[in-house]
Every structure is written in C-alpha cells, then in structure tokens.
Structure 1
Amino acid sequence: MRQRDAERTRAALLSAAQTLFSTRGFANTGVRDVAELAGVNSSLVSRYFGSKQGLYRETLERVLDITPMLEGDRRRFGEKVVSIFLGVEDAPGPLMMLILSAADPEAHATSVELLQKKAIEPLARWLGPPDADGRAARLNILWGGFLMSWRLLPLPQLAEVRHSSTRRWLEATIQAIVDEGET
C-alpha cells in the first residue's frame, strides 16, 4: 500500500510541476506552490526529487518525448507532426517549460541538455544521413518558431492555421527536410 501512495504522490508532484513550470516558469515556481497544487507536504519534493531543480529535470524529461512522432509512415511525417501540434489544445507542455526556463541559468542548462538528448539526438538518428544533426536542428527551429508564433505570441494570420495554406506550407517544409536524406 505504501508503494502505491509513493507512486501516486510522485505522479501528483510531477503533474503539478508540469502545470506550474509551463505557466509560471522555473524562477516563478516555488516548491511550496508545487506541493500545494499536488495536495501534499512540500518536504516530499526533496524526498522524491532532491530539489526543485531535480523536480524540474524529471518533469521535463517526462514530457519531452518525440518518439511517438517518429513512428509510422515516414512519407507522411510532415502531416503527422502538424496534426499533432494542431491537435494539442492549451495543455501545459515542454515548449513553455523550455522557454520559461531561460531566466534561471541552471534550469536553462538542464533544458538545453534535455532538448538535445530527448529531441534532437533521437530525431537525428531517425533522419539518418546526410547531415542528420543539421536537419534535426532545422526541424526544431521550424517547430519552435511555428509554435511560438501560433501559441505564445499569436499572430492573427495564424488564427485559422488548421485549414490554411500555412498548414500546407508547414507540412511540406517539414517533409522536405525529412526527404533531404532520400536518394
């Protein structure tokens, strides 16, 4: 019974941390805030994660996972990725955590490290030669720019992106970067 409670407590803390880190940022989120949202004692953050930084790392590691995007038909990757992006409503996610971590040097370093490890490197392996690292970086730049312009600093021109020429352009551009490796 205790193990199940510990797992439930960890899950509640991770969920609360994801919400707060992606809405307030690392610097503006306190351990007490996370514990309060999770409905547990703040000392449990130290017990399970060692520190706020440890909680941030584990939370980001959990939510920053592109492997589901890499499954399926490679020839339809652009469509799949755009559908995933457009299908996610305002759920707290890794992009906001990454952006809002920039104010804290340690959290920022963790963000850069995990973005490389959990997104760029797996994407580069999946893409394969030629220039897998460069293509993975270009895709990340494209995705980040699109998501920032659509979600964080919404451009009015992207309000109807679900059914627009912008969507088709984004799908085609993503696919073109993927297809650079095809002979």
Structure 2
Amino acid sequence: MTMEDKREPKRRNPAKTQARILDAAFELFSSQGYARTGMREVAERADVATSLVVRYFGTKAALFEQALVRAIYERGFFVRSKPNFGERMAALVVGDEEARIPAMMVLAIADLESREIAQKITRDVVLKSLADWLGPPDAQNRALHMLTLMNGFTIQTRHLRTGDVPPESVRWLARSLQAIVDEENAPVN
C-alpha cells in the first residue's frame, strides 16, 4: 500500500468554500467591475470548479449581490462609535482595502443588471442601516448626504484622480462626515 492509498479523502466544507468564492467575487467585482468579471474567473480565483460557483450562487447577479451584502455586514461600518467617525471613515475611503465597497458600488453603475442590484442594496441595506445608526433627527436625509459624500469622494479619488489625494481634501471629508453624524446633537427647530 502506498502513501497515496493511505491518504484520507478530502472533506468538503461548504461554508468555507462559499466564503472563499464570495471573497474572490468581491475582490474581482470591486477591482474590475461587474461586466468584466466572469464566473470562471471567480472560480479560478477561489480555486474551485465553475460548476460549484453556479451550484452555490446560481447566477452572476446573485453572486454579485451576496458578495456585496456580505462585505457590507462583515466590515460593520455602522456599528462603530460616533466620536471621530468622520476621521476613521475618511481614512478608510482613501485607504486601499476598505474603499473596495464604494468602488464596487460605483463600478456597478456601468451595467444595467449590476446597477439595479446596487440600487436595491443601497436602499435596503446601506441607507437603512446608516439611518438607523445615525438616529433622529432626519436620519434618512442625513444618511443620503453621508453616502453621497463618500461615493463622490470615492469616484474622484479612485477613478478620476490625477495624483495623490491632498491631505486637506481628506480632512474636509472627515469634517463633513462628522458634521452629519453630530447633527443628532443639534437643536431641533
């Protein structure tokens, strides 16, 4: 009997495999967009068969949606403390790793199918969670203002940038975001 014969069969762990697929999908969708990312490419990055990606997620649209929602919840942006939130969020938006969620959302705009998914996630997950986290007064509008600032800043600094992001621009974003957070303490007219 050889060593090959004595080797135990490799046990599958569906949860870990799905997580690996979602991580690969998120990495690709956030760096090159929906239209330029294929199921085969995701499978290769996750080191699984394409048929397994299809089995777990069905369609590219479902994979995109699940990868995006998982990334949002996994990073828990809106469970952080409110003091100094603007500074922390501005640093994340200009940082390499954490800006991938807004980048994925922005890149989704280019394709009708992914844009509809991004709109749904923005409405049902991001804005709702952000408004709940912000609290009154006027939580929905404040959430929209905050998201608009972050998305606009992401587009400018990630996709239209002509050089390094000036530190004064990062400080402006931090102050602007913090002012939105701090509105909960402002007197109501």
Q: Does 1:70 align with 2:73?
A: no
Distance 2:161 2:110 in 1: 22
Distance 2:154 2:99 in 1: 13
Alignment of 1:13-162 (within 5 A): 13-65=21-73, 67-72=76-81, 74-86=82-94, 88-89=95-96, 93-156=100-163, 159-161=164-166
Contact 1:63–1:93 (8 Å) recurs in 2: no
Q: Does 1:169 align with 2:172?
A: yes
Deviation at 1:68, TM superposition (A): 3.4
For the structure 1 residues 145 and 160, does the alpha-carbon distance in structure 2 shift closer, same or farther, using more than 3 Å as the test? closer
Contact 1:23–1:92 (8 Å) recurs in 2: no
Q: Alpha carbon RMSD of aligned pairs, Å?
A: 2.1
For the structure 1 residues 174 and 53, does the alpha-carbon distance in structure 2 shift closer, same or farther, using more than 3 Å as the test? same
TM-score, normalization by structure 2: 0.82
Matched letter for residue 131 of structure 1: D
Deviation at 1:43, TM superposition (A): 0.6
**Aligned length in residues:** 176
Contact 1:17–1:55 (8 Å) recurs in 2: yes
User: Any idea what the Cα deviations from partners look like across 1:139-167, whole Å, max 9, x if unmatched?
Assistant: 001111112211221143xx253xx3223
User: Any idea what the Cα deviations from partners look like across 1:85-109, whole Å, max 9, x if unmatched?
Assistant: 34x3256722222122223322211
Structure number with larger C-alpha Rg: 2
Deviation at 1:110, TM superposition (A): 1.0
User: Any idea what the Cα deviations from partners look like across 1:45-78, whole Å, max 9, x if unmatched?
Assistant: 1211111111111101111236334322x23221
- Gap runs ≥5 in structure 2: 1-9
User: Any idea what the Cα deviations from partners look like across 1:25-53, whole Å, max 9, x if unmatched?
Assistant: 21222211111222211111121111111
Specify the SS of the correspondent of 1:64: helix
TM-score, normalization by structure 1: 0.84
Identity score, percent: 36
User: Any idea what the Cα deviations from partners look like across 1:4-38, whole Å, max 9, x if unmatched?
Assistant: 2x223212211221122122221222211111222
For the structure 1 residues 166 and 30, does the alpha-carbon distance in structure 2 shift closer, same or farther, using more than 3 Å as the test? closer
